Structure 1
Amino acid sequence: MAVYAAHLTRTLQGTPSIFQVTAQEALGTTVKPALRKLIEYLAEVYPDKCGWCVPWYDELYLLFDCCLQYHYLKHYAASFSESFYGLLRVPTTVSSEFNPGNLRLPEMLEYGSVALLVLVPYIKDKMEKIVDRWREDDEDGRLGKSKPDRARKAAIKIYAIVHLVAKSARLVQAARYMTGATRSHCPELALLGVSLRDAPLLHRDTYTWTGFFKNLLTGQFRGAAVSFPMVGGAVLRGVQYGAFVVQLLRWWDARAASHAALQPPPAPQPDERAVRWKNKCPICLQTWKIPTVLPVSGYIFCYVCISRHVRARATCPVTRCPAAESSLVRLYVD
C-alpha cells in the first residue's frame, strides 16, 4: 500500500504540457459539430422520423453531453476529452473531501465542472446566434433608431468587447501556465479551483478487454460501464482507421472510373408548385425582394422570408429538408 500511495502521489504531481491541454480542448470542441453532421444526414434521409432533431439539436446535445460529462467526472474525475488524453482534475487547494485513491472530486466541484463543461457552452452558443442575427440585421440596415434597435446595437458592441476580454484572459492564463505561475491553464478552471494532472498509470491500466467482456457476460453492467473510456478509445481509433480506408477507396474508385463513360443524369421532372410559384416567393407569394436561393432545395425566396423561416424551423418550407441560415445564397439579378 505504501508503494502504491507513493507512486500515486508522484503521478498526481505531474503537470501536463500546454500541448496536452490544448489537444483535449480541441477534441471536446469537435464532438458537437461531428454529431450535428450525423443528425443532419439522418434528417435528410429520414425527414419524417428525424427531421425534428435538427431544430432541437442544441437541446438534445445538451442532454447527451450532460450525461456523458457527469459519468466521466463521477468515475474518473475528468471530462470525456480529459480522460481520453489521460488527465484528471484535482483541487488546487488541499481538500479533505478529495480522495486520490478512488479519484473522486468533491460533490460541489463535480457540479461546478458539469456547469462549466455543459451549461456555459450552451448559453454561449445561444448568445452567439442571437448576436450574429442582430449583427446581420445591422449590416443590412434593418435596425433603426428605436429603443429596442439601439439596445441591440449596444449589445453587439458589448458582446464584442466581452469576447475580446475573454480571449485575452485565456491567452494570459495560458502564458502564466507555461511559465509555471499558475496551476490552471484556463480562467474557468482557475475560477473553479481545479487544475489538470496526469492520471495514475495504475488507474489507466486497471480495466482490460477480458474484464469488460466478463462483466457483460455475467450481467455486471455497472462494471462494464466504468470501463467505457477503453471502449471509447477503441471506437475512436476504429473511426480514424475507417475514415482513412473510406478515403482510400474513394480515391481508388475515382482513379479507376472513366469520366467519359459516365452517362448524364436524367433531367428533373417539373414540379407543379414550381410552375405556380414562378418568379414568386413560395412563402409570401409576392415578387422576390432580395432574391435568395436555398441550395438544399433550389427554391428562391425573399431574403427576409426565408431567413426568418430557417432561423425558426431550420428546414426548407417547401421540401422540409434540413437547412441552415449560413447556407443561404443571395442572387443579384437585373
Structure 2
Amino acid sequence: MSFLTVGGDGSQRPTFFELIAADRLMPSLKAAIVFSLSVFAQRRPILHKVLDWEDELFALITAFLDRQSLASSSSTFADSLYGLRRAPYVREGPSKSLTGQQQKVTLLLLVVVPYLRSKLDALYKRHHTPSEGFLGLSAPQPAPRRAPLLQTQGSRSGRLQEALACLREAALAAFMKAYPFIHMAQEGLTFSYQLAYLLQSSPYFSPTLHLLGQHVVRTSAQELVLSERSKRQERRQQLLGVRSQGNFLWRALHEGLLRANYLFTDHTRNALILAVFGFRLLEWWYTSAEEKLAAEQKLEPPPPPPPPLPSPQGVPLPSDPAICPLCRQTRTNPAMTSVSGYTFCYPCLFNSVTREQCCPVTRIPASIDSIRRLYQST
C-alpha cells in the first residue's frame, strides 16, 4: 500500500503521518503555552488570572494564527508548517484556493469546535467522581442529595429559584450520562475517517473536512512562488495608496504601522515555534539540574518501626525462634501475618486465624488475606 499518491491535478497527496502530526500540533502548542504561563505565574501571581481563562486565551491565539495563514496561503497554521494547504474537493481538475466565505467558515470551526470540546471535557471532569468497583472498574455513585432551598411560604421568586435549580440538576445529570457516549461516537467517527484515508478509500481525513467539502493537498513550489509574489504586489499597492493620502506625518505614521504589521505577520509563526522549543529546552535543562541536586541531598530512610508487643492473652513466644508458637515444634512451611510479623507454621496459623480472626500472639484483628507464605531462597 502506497502512502504517497498523486491527485487528479498532479498534486501529491499528503501522507497519513503528516496529517496526524499537523492535527496534534495545536494541542501540543496549547500545552506548552499553559505550562509556560504556569511557570511564570510562580513569580508573577497576576498570571493566575490568565490561567483561569486559558481556553479563551488559546482560542484567540488560534484565531489570530489561523486567520493570517488562511488569508495568505489557504492553509491553517499547523498545515502551513508541513507545506500543506486546504482546497475545495473536486474529483478532477486543479485544486483551487479557498474563497473568502470558505475561509471564514473554516476559521469559525477551527476556533469554536476545540473551544467547546475543551469546555465540555472540563465540565465532565469537574463533576465526574468514579469509585473503585469490581476488578477496578468504576462503579456509579449515588447522586448527592440537594439541600432544600430556603424560601418563604407563597414566595414566587423562591419557587422559581427552586425550579431553575432542579432544571439545572436534571440537565447536568443528563449531560453526565450522555457525554461519554457522545465522546465515544466522536472519537469513533474520527478514527473511521482516518482509517479510510489511510486505506485510500476517502479523500477526507476528518469529519470536519468532509463537512466543509475540503481536502488537504501539498503546496507546490510554483504555488509558493506565486503566493509570495502576490503578497508583495498587494503590499506594494497598499504602501503606494498610503503615500498618496494625507499630510507627511499621517503618511509616515500609517506607513510605519503597515511595515510593522508586515514584519510581525511574517515572523510571528517562526518566533512562536522557536519560543516554545526554547522554553522546552530550558525546562529540560533546569529539571535535569534540579534532579541532580536533589539526588545529592537525599536523606537516609528512617529505621523500621518496632514489632507489636505480645498480648498477655496471646500465645507465649518460645525461647527458640525456630519453634512455632502454636504447635511448639520446629516450624515447617513458614507463614506470617502482615498485621504483626510473627512467624508460625502455615497450617497452624491458618486454622488459628480462621477460628479466632486475630494474630495468635498479639491478638490484633487479622483475616486469611493477611497471611503471607515465606519462601527461603536457595
TM-score normalised over the length of structure 2 = 0.53
- 2:25–2:78: 8 Å Cα contact kept in structure 1? yes
1:69 alignment counterpart? 66
Q: Secondary structure at the match of 2:85?
A: strand
Comparing both structures, which one devotes a greater share of its residues to helix? 1
Counterpart among 108, 125, 130 of residue 115 in structure 1 = 108
Counterpart among 31, 34, 37 of residue 32 in structure 2 = 34
- 1:184–1:190: 8 Å Cα contact kept in structure 2? yes
- 1:84–1:233: 8 Å Cα contact kept in structure 2? no
Q: Using the TM superposition, give the Cα deviation of residue 128 of structure 1 relative to its aligned residue in structure 2, in angstroms.
A: 1.6
Once the two structures are overlaid, the 10-residue window that deviates more, 33-42 or 136-145, is: 136-145
Q: Specify whether residues 120 and 199 from structure 1 end up closer, same or farther in structure 2 by C-alpha distance, changes over 3 A only.
A: same
Q: Superposition pairs for residues 186-225 of structure 1, below 5 Å?
A: 186-204=206-224, 220-221=259-260, 223-225=262-264
Greater relative contact order: 1 or 2 (C-alpha under 8 angstroms, separation 6 or more)? 1
Q: How many residues align?
A: 241
Once the two structures are overlaid, the 10-residue window that deviates more, 26-35 or 128-137, is: 128-137
**d(CA) in 2 for partners of 1:204 and 1:89?**
14
1:142 alignment counterpart? 144
1:19 alignment counterpart? 17
2:174 alignment counterpart? 154
Q: Using the TM superposition, give the Cα deviation of residue 179 of structure 1 relative to its aligned residue in structure 2, in angstroms.
A: 2.0
Letter in 2 for 1:90: A
2:340 alignment counterpart? none
2:185 is equivalent to residue 165 of structure 1: yes
- 1:68–1:80: 8 Å Cα contact kept in structure 2? yes
Identity over the aligned pairs, expressed in percent?
Answer: 19
**d(CA) in 1 for partners of 2:274 and 2:285?**
17
**d(CA) in 2 for partners of 1:77 and 1:130?**
34
Structure 1 runs (4+) deviating above 3 angstroms are 93-96, 137-141, 143-151, 202-207, 215-228, 231-258
- 1:15–1:198: 8 Å Cα contact kept in structure 2? yes
2:273 is equivalent to residue 236 of structure 1: yes
Unaligned runs of 5+ in 2: 1-7, 131-139, 148-165, 233-238, 240-254, 300-378
Q: Which has the larger radius of gyration?
A: 2
- 1:73–1:110: 8 Å Cα contact kept in structure 2? yes
Q: Superposition pairs for residues 1-16 of structure 1, below 5 Å?
A: 9-10=9-10, 13-16=11-14
Q: Using the TM superposition, give the Cα deviation of residue 31 of structure 1 relative to its aligned residue in structure 2, in angstroms.
A: 1.1
Q: Secondary structure at the match of 2:24?
A: helix
Counterpart among 110, 113, 126 of residue 133 in structure 1 = 126
Unaligned runs of 5+ in 1: 1-7, 263-334
Counterpart among 68, 76, 79 of residue 79 in structure 1 = 76
Q: Superposition pairs for residues 93-112 of structure 1, below 5 Å?
A: 93=90, 100=96, 104-112=97-105
Q: Using the TM superposition, give the Cα deviation of residue 202 of structure 1 relative to its aligned residue in structure 2, in angstroms.
A: 3.6
Deviations 1:2-49 (A, max 9, x none): xxxxxx953xx211011000011111211112111122223221114x
